[in-house]
Structure 1
């Protein structure tokens, strides 16, 4: 059984958003198909490749900003959204406003898959034991609390004693994804 550690947040409010054209969305879908085939990276879900689907998330972190800028015809607002998503290690989301029929692009609250830590159940329980939290298959810890625990020398010793010290750096990345207005948590399941 695999247990994944990832970031979740309850952030509400304004996020960077860009208005994109149908042509830009089609160009992105084409880019996603070609790059997905070439690199083996799932950029978007198979279902999102259907032009009738207009609400989906996509990966942008693995790609150069300059390449994505060209896909979006060097639109400054789209570049800003993509840059923010890459900086935060997040997916982007496309969605259509049903009333005005506009297509929007914004930073998703979903972390990029590369940020997710996937480990065996035994390793996950050893990590949880080292952190001093309940060894349950599903749970969460506030990102700021995780940062505090990871910086504690006693916790570092427990990671070494439990032979999971090599996961600490990845957990530090997850804990660092906290944003002031997001109430970020590291969750596992």
Structure 2
């Protein structure tokens, strides 16, 4: 489960397909701009992208469309500070059920809906009373509090 921008969907990293192309999003906000720029020989275009990502609180996106092609850097859609929940299937289903969400579907739920459910006293009490769920409440609350630059974030699962 992760907090994601509405479209296109994102993940911290995308598996490298057989074609050799790749795409990842990396955190840049906790790093000094100068330390990142130094890795790219102080390229002004890199400095511009990283500076904008840091200003907006978003991740940087690095990708290569074809093997041997140019490696590109751009502004990612993901919030830099978005937590991710890495949970076993059983716990993921329990989280969805505790939030009153359909646990049999795969996909995404708008964070506004998750936020609304977390503010529901019955649901919140159920989460807080379950010792297995309390460790996820903080991350879910942090995800729900993030303000998107464009569109809406989603809680995504597969």
Query: How far off its partner does 1:68 sit?
Result: 1.0
TM-score, normalised to structure 1's length? 0.58
Q: Give the TM-score taking structure 2 as reference length.
A: 0.67
Cα distance, 1:178–1:10 mapped onto 2, change above 3 Å: farther
Deviations 1:99-143 (A, max 9, x none): xx987521223567x732111122112211221112226242111
- What is the alpha-carbon root mean square deviation over aligned residues? 3.7
Aligned-pair CA distance for 1:147: 1.2
Matched ranges for 1:1-189 at <5 A? 4-10=1-7, 56-61=23-28, 64-66=31-33, 67-72=35-40, 73=42, 75=44, 76-84=47-55, 87-88=57-58, 90-94=59-63, 104-109=72-77, 115-136=83-104, 138-163=106-131, 164-179=133-148, 181-189=150-158
**Distance in 1 of aligned mates of 2:37 and 2:105:** 41
- Between structure 1 and structure 2, the one with the greater Rg is 1
Q: Matches of 1:149 and 1:68 in 2, distance apart?
A: 39
- How many corresponding residue pairs? 145
Deviation at 1:145, TM superposition (A): 1.3
Give unmatched runs, 5+ long, in structure 1.
12-42, 48-52
